[in-house]
Structure 1
Amino acid sequence: MNIIEGKSCNISFSEKVGIFSHDYLKCCGFIADVDMHEYSFTKKLHSTMICASQLLEDFLDFHGAKNNEDWYFYRELAASARHLNVASYSQKHISNRLGYYLIEDAGDFKKEGDTTLTFFMSTIKKLAPVIIDEARRLNIPLPDKPFKYSDFPAVTTSEILKYNIDDKNKDQQKKEIVKIASEFLGIAANFDHLRFYKPYNFDEMLSIVPEQINEVEIRRFEMLVHNLQSSFDTYVIHGGYRFGNRKLKALRGCFSVVFHLLQMMGKLLHFYERHLHEAGYKNIYKRVQVQLAELVPPRMLLDRTLNYGLFYVCHFLNNGKKLAQEILNENIERSRITVGIPVKLGFHSRPSLLVAKIVQHYGGQVELCIDSDRFDAGSVLDLQWAGGKINKEKLDKVVFEGDSRTLKDIEILAGVNYGEDSMGKGIPLPRELNYLRQGR
């Protein structure tokens, strides 16, 4: 049975909009009057504003505000307040937790984060009186009193609860650690195409958002990193950052920062694409878009999204690779296999590439061994160097040592002559190696 909330309620829209606007406008009154300081804009203020604006936006959407000239701007202001407060909440979380993330040389990152928070605070503060004026125009009653400073304390105190649940000796399953480290390396590799090395100017930002960088793409990575963090907290370390395996917790700090930056970016890109990028053909939509752009400057919004958010996502993913690789190689199950070399043509381009892709897929260390010589099996060039030695010594078998997961797939690949016939022509690969078909 479908139940519509409040179906039998006979309170009018004009009465209810006052009820659903009350806490929202009360927040706006506080923000409009308060000094613009980071201690004023706390996580509790942001969370209160997020809940209040979400509730109001839902109420207005239910009653068709998106298709009403009188109410459309008020509705868009509520959406703007929500997205900016969610983004600011994510950045505030990073700032509050920065000391626990075990980030080296965090000075520039902190400075850019502070600049981003200042942008959020100034923009939210600029929105507040406009929201109040729009409420007056619509004859929405304003709260008698705004919130007070004491209603929004910071989450931090000078005290820390006693550490009496010890997780450092928890049975940390190597299988899960290996899986998480491998997935981190995979995410970092997939994100690599978005890396950049100098700040984008405004024209460049306009050319890549949303065509190349957009809400959908960023949210996809956000979900992947969130799943990674969830697996880590469930299967590896339950506790916080203060004790336990420093290396594991440093990796956790790395992808936690990335996750919250992606959260922030997702909200800002959604706001830009939905509210600032392209207005509809109706005059009211275009007029409201212009009004919002004056309140939330697209240049600064995209700058914080890309030159801060995207830059540091790339930075921390790249920096985390070495750490993830170390953790992976410390925890992988190692083994050794002996397999034949590619018939007729040896380790030329195709077999070398396929072996390297298998190694890169899992991320663990694997070496091709010829007597005392060892070659990196994740490097096409190294494998081809090994191929020269194999031809010179007329070998028909070689040894691979390292990550047992990788060796299992190399053994499968060797069983089909490394994906080619004796003439060097490609042949279908077994279904276990379907992932190698990507990019072939």
Structure 2
Amino acid sequence: MNDPFCEISYSEKVRIFSSDYLKCCLYISNQQTPDHVFTKKLYSKLISTSQVLEDFLDFHGAKNSEDWYLYRELCATIRHLSLGVYCQKHILNRLIFYDIPDIEVFREQGEATLNFLNDALRNLAPVIIDEASRLNIAMPSDSFGPEDFPGITTGEMLKYDIDDDAKDVQKRNIVKIASEFLSIAASFDPMGFYEPYDDDEMAALVPEKVNEVQIRRFEMLVHNLQSSFDTYVIHGGFRFGDRKLKSLRSYFSIVFHLLQMMGRLLHFYERHLHEAGYKNTYKRVQDKLASLVDPVKLMDRTINYGLYYACHYLNSGKKLAREILNENIERSSITVGIPVKLGFHSRPSLLVAKIVQHFGGQVELVVGEDRFDASSVLDIQWAGGKIQKEKISEVTFEGDIRALADIQILAGVNYGEDTMGKGVPLPGELSYLK
């Protein structure tokens, strides 16, 4: 039977797996390193080298070794901060292509976030070098220089010679994507806020109300939305083509990258900085990390920058999404009876409005010469007053054919109630109303 284990010793392998990682740390620590040292290429190198080193250390039990635990935790810190700051750098690089108004304050806040994370990496690098020396890990004989980590931007652009105009795209894909954007924005609304959180408020918010699991779930939803857009609507970049569609993509793209960054920073905070009742070695290392990466400032950038602007751009993109949706939906009309015997009081009005809100497209309730917004409970109840006064038995709904189909189903069960006004079970097609 072949021996599955390599004959190279642990000490030699840890030197090999630490080599490029330590070269990055030496480069960051070097006083001669220029201010523009932090590029996506450097972050990428930090991510890849720290991940393979962390895997190596975990395989050999560093999580349970008092001697090696700090080195392992510093490695994890570098990885998660680098993943987060890579996303933030990407946002700032792409701002010139995002078709979003009034971004100057967002740019300033983004640069402040970038600087905080870069400073944290600068704080960590010399500590990592010292810890490696304590563990007798040999320093690399060569070093990186600025030429190894150029930025991705130049003053040139490649010739635009592939037409990605969406003129032939199937409207149902646009309708689906605009509807999903509105749905995600609505589900994100409870997280919205208008004033920065103070330190105590952030401590109460994370992780009880805002946490890595929650943010990663939204990240996946927005990522799926962006993937569907790029696959079924427009393949190309931001520069040319249908401006409305590309502007909508800008909104959910910027939200996606903010959520990516938040997920990494929340993971680091919850796993490595948040007080979880540990003692002894774990607590000492946690305190050490907190002295290098300020937990309060980390949460400020995660919540008062990341969460705030994710909410802001989801909310401000709603108007454009509705506009695109209503330009592309298939429209029709239906004539249905009114709720027997109580008319459009609160329950049936609410159920009709929920159907319209669920699909996001425009639907109007037509009563004679008057039109009412069927997404508004109040508007439907105003219509109900007119219906009752004029003793009308049937009304017409006009607009989004998807919503109309479900309103017809709802009308078929007397809008979810019996003639005494008590609720009755809804058909399976309307399960989303529960």
TM interval, shorter chain, is over 0.9
Cα deviation for residue 7 of structure 1 reads 2.7
Residue of structure 1 in register with 2:92 after alignment: 95
SS of residue matched to 1:39: helix
Deviation sequence 1:334-354 (CA, Å, 0-9, x none):
000000000100000000000
TM-superposed deviation, 1:171: 2.1
Q: How does 1:72-151 map to 2 (within 5 A)?
A: 72-151=69-148
> In structure 1, how many angstroms separate the alpha carbons of the residues matched to 2:399 and 2:73?
57
Letter in 1 for 2:335: T
Q: TM-score, normalised by structure 2?
A: 0.98
What's the offset of the Cα at 1:35? 6.0
Write the distance in 2 (CA, Å) between the matches of 1:90 and 1:404: 39
1:159 to 137, 152, 156: 156
Q: After the TM superposition, which segments of 4 or more aligned residues of structure 1 sit over 2 Å from their partners?
A: 34-39, 278-282
1:370 is aligned to 367
Q: Residue 306 of structure 1: which of 300, 303, 318 is its match?
A: 303
Q: 1:221 to 1:127 in 2, by over 3 A?
A: same
Equivalent position to 1:326, from 320, 323, 326: 323
Amino acid at match of 2:381: Q
Measured after TM superposition, the shift of residue 432 of structure 1 is: 0.2
SS in 1 for 2:96: helix
* 1:404 match: 401
Instruction: Output the CA distance in 2 between the equivalents of 1:402 and 1:37.
Output: 59
Corresponding position: 1:420 with 2:417: yes
Deviates more, 1:410-419 or 1:32-41: 32-41
2:85 is paired with a residue whose SS is helix
1:357 is matched with which residue: 350, 354, 359? 354
Deviation per CA, 1:208-234: give whole Å up to 9, x if none: 100000001111100000000000000
Q: Does structure 2 retain, via aligned residues, the 8 Å contact 1:36–1:121?
A: no
Partners of 2:212 and 2:417 lie apart in 1 by: 41
Does residue 229 in structure 1 map to residue 205 in structure 2?
no
Q: Is the CA contact (8 Å cut-off) linking 1:367 and 1:374 kept in structure 2?
A: yes
- Point out where structure 2 has 5 or more consecutive residues left out of the alignment: none
- How many Å apart are 1:158 and its aligned residue? 1.1
Matches within 5 A, 1:10-409: 10-33=7-30, 39-169=36-166, 171-409=168-406
User: How many Å separate the matches in 1 of 2:161 and 2:152?
Assistant: 21
1:417 to 1:34, Cα distance in 2 relative to 1, 3 A = farther
SS of residue paired to 2:398: strand
3-state SS of paired residue (1:337): strand
Alpha-carbon separation, structure 1, partners of 2:231 and 2:345: 44
Aligned residue pair count: 433
Whole-angstrom CA distance in 2 between matches of 1:409 and 1:38: 59
**Aligned amino acid, residue 46 of structure 1:** Y
C-alpha contact (below 8 Å) 2:166/2:242 kept by paired residues: no
Within the candidate set 403, 426, 429, 2:426 is matched to 429
Q: Is the 8 A contact 2:178 2:321 kept in 1?
A: yes
The one-letter amino acid of 1:412's match is I
- Over the aligned positions, Cα root-mean-square deviation in angstroms equals 1.2
Q: Shift in Å at residue 70 of structure 1?
A: 0.4
Do the aligned partners of 2:166 and 2:234 also contact (CA within 8 Å) in 1?
Answer: no
The answer to whether the 8 A contact 2:27-2:33 is kept is no
Deviation at 1:10, TM superposition (A): 1.1
Change (3 A) 1:428 1:35: farther
Shift of 1:372: 1.7
- Report the CA distance between 1:391 and its aligned residue: 0.5
Q: CA deviation at 1:40?
A: 1.3
Displacement after TM superposition at 1:278 (Å): 2.2
Determine if contact 1:36/1:125 at 8 Å carries over to the other structure.
no
Any conservation in 2 of the 1:36–1:122 contact (CA below 8 Å)?
Answer: no
Q: In percent, how many aligned pairs have the same letter?
A: 70
- Say whether the 8 Å CA contact 1:34–1:40 is kept in structure 2: no
Call closer, same or farther: CA 1:288–1:115 in 2, change over 3 Å. Answer: same
How far is 1:434 from its partner?
0.3
Q: Report the CA distance shift for 1:279/1:21 in structure 2 as closer, same or farther (over 3 A).
A: farther
Cα deviation, residue 12, structure 1: 1.0
What is the rounded CA distance, in whole Å, between the counterparts of 1:228 and 1:268 in structure 2? 23
